[in-house]
Amino acid sequence: MDLLDKERLAPLYARELARFHARIPKSMAAREVARRFMPDGVPMSWMSAFFSHPPVFVDGGEGSVFRDIDGNEFVDFNLADLSNTVGYGKNAVSRALADCAARGIQYLQPSMDAINVSAALAARTGMPFWQYTGTASAANIEAIRIARAYTRRDKVVLFTGKYHGHIDTTLAKGGSPEGNEPARPSSMGVSARATADAVNVAFNDLDHLKAALGKGDVALVLIEPALTNCSLVLPDPGFLEGAFELTSAAGALFALDETHTLQMAYGGLIGERGLKADILTLGKGFGAGVSLGAYGLTPKLARFIDQHQDSDTVPEPGIALGGTTYGNALSMAGARAMLDEVATPEAHTRIAKLGARLADGLDAIIAKYDLPWRAFRYGPRSGFCLTPSLPRTYVQALRSVHADFYNLRHTYLANRGIWDAIVSAGPQVSFAHTEQDVDCYIEVCAELIDEIATG
């Protein structure tokens, strides 16, 4: 029995989509008004493009639940694509933000919270020096610029299946390690000149990385410690350590992008596993929904930045770093509350247990129907892996990014009060979730698989 057969899924999806439309009349009407002012009726295209059903206009929320303007409530397992792991409504972060906003949002001068946040990140990750941006994308842009300035090279090595933000250098596909086939844009609007300095190699393949480093022209190796934008691909034992050693031996810098994985363990994978890096980029969840990015630096790179600041008052150009609203008081206040009061070691232990509960529940459903699947699992992250073995590469991971099954699952769950993760990710437990939330997710998924199997 093939539960992923399109003819089996299509009638259920049509039924659930019609039911979803009937539940959101006010959101549907609001979207029609919004289309007069915004493309597709949304302020940012992902709010529409990520889902096969119409967007819901949100009224507010509390804890793990948000509410739309029709009064529907959803237990959120998407966490705003991991940018809001603290939950909704009144909490330590929202109180800190309100207090800061009442005193002043932005000064273009440092606040004391910036010291506290930097000290907390240093203690968790082992990276001693920190700089702040508005997004993780901007943090990766600055990491690339620092590496190019420091090494006096231009090439950037990426890993197939990666996501480092919507920035021109990394929106690249292809590019042979030997350099005889240039990378090309993976999205419209990106210049081929911008991607010409990118090289994509296979995740979990040290030989492929060694070949890319062989010409001595690589400035930076930029890698997620686990691929998280194509379901989930974990590193082989020793892969990340080997990648760092190869990179250092080739005279390039090594940057870990833990924008997603910082949420998976206290201190991210760099803290949990004691990994080495020259630069560590962050964003999303540690800002608790407030736009924020950051990058950690080794002492040698911190000194290099000190010596090459870009200023109108000196004759020589420096590194192009910074932005007017970067490191503002509001974002620092939210991050301080998030790190000190929410994302504690005890809280990470709790959500890891809830993540295991979620994965165990999905595995039990899979076993009941003797499906050739299994559950992804790492800390609070889980989801359906639609193959018998967990993936080691992007190509293997794509088999679990199944559009028809996802469209049905997301709409089916939404009609029963659960907001599932986007297709390229998987459900993740937030600091606001409870055992009851997790059990509800499992129960509704069981109902869905039963309907598919018996329909």
What lies within 8 Å, CB to CB, of 432 at 6+ separation is: 63, 64, 86, 87, 88, 91
Residue 320, classified by CB atoms within 10 Å of its CB into exposed (0-12), middle (13-18) or buried (19+), is exposed
Side chain identity, residue 365: I
Q: What is the DSSP string of 314-364?
A: SSS-------TTTT-HHHHHHHHHIIIIIS-HHHHHHHHHHHHHHHHHHHH
Q: What are phi and psi of 132, to 5 degrees?
A: -125, 145
Closest Cα to residue 424, out of 109, 205, 162, 47? Answer: 162
Per-residue pLDDT of the chain (455 residues; tens, 9 = 90+): 688 999 999 999 999 999 999 999 999 999 999 999 999 999 999 999 999 999 999 999 999 999 999 999 999 999 999 999 999 999 999 999 999 999 999 999 999 999 999 999 999 999 999 999 999 999 999 999 999 999 999 999 999 999 999 999 999 998 877 767 889 999 999 999 999 999 999 999 999 999 999 999 999 999 999 999 999 999 999 999 999 999 999 999 999 999 999 999 999 999 999 999 999 999 988 888 899 999 999 999 999 999 999 887 777 899 999 999 999 999 999 999 999 999 999 999 999 999 999 999 999 999 999 999 999 999 999 999 999 999 999 999 999 999 999 999 999 999 999 999 999 999 999 999 999 999 999 999 999 999 999 97
pTM higher than the cut 0.85: yes
> Residue 176 CA to chain centroid, in angstroms?
26
User: CA 183 to CA 154: how far, in whole Å?
Assistant: 14
Q: Where exactly are the structural domains of the chain?
A: 6-85+344-454, 92-342
What lies within 8 Å, CB to CB, of 131 at 6+ separation is: 142, 294, 295, 297, 305, 321, 327
Q: What are phi and psi of 137, to 5 degrees?
A: -55, -45
CATH superfamily of 6-85+344-454: Aspartate Aminotransferase, domain 1 (3.90.1150.10)
Query: How many Cβ atoms are within 10 Å of 148's Cβ, its own excluded?
Result: 18
- Cβ atoms of 9 and 405 within 8 Å: the answer is yes
- Cβ atoms of 343 and 91 within 8 Å: the answer is no
The fold of the 92-342 domain, in CATH, is: Aspartate Aminotransferase; domain 2 (3.40.640)
CA angle 348, 354, 356 (to 5 degrees): 105
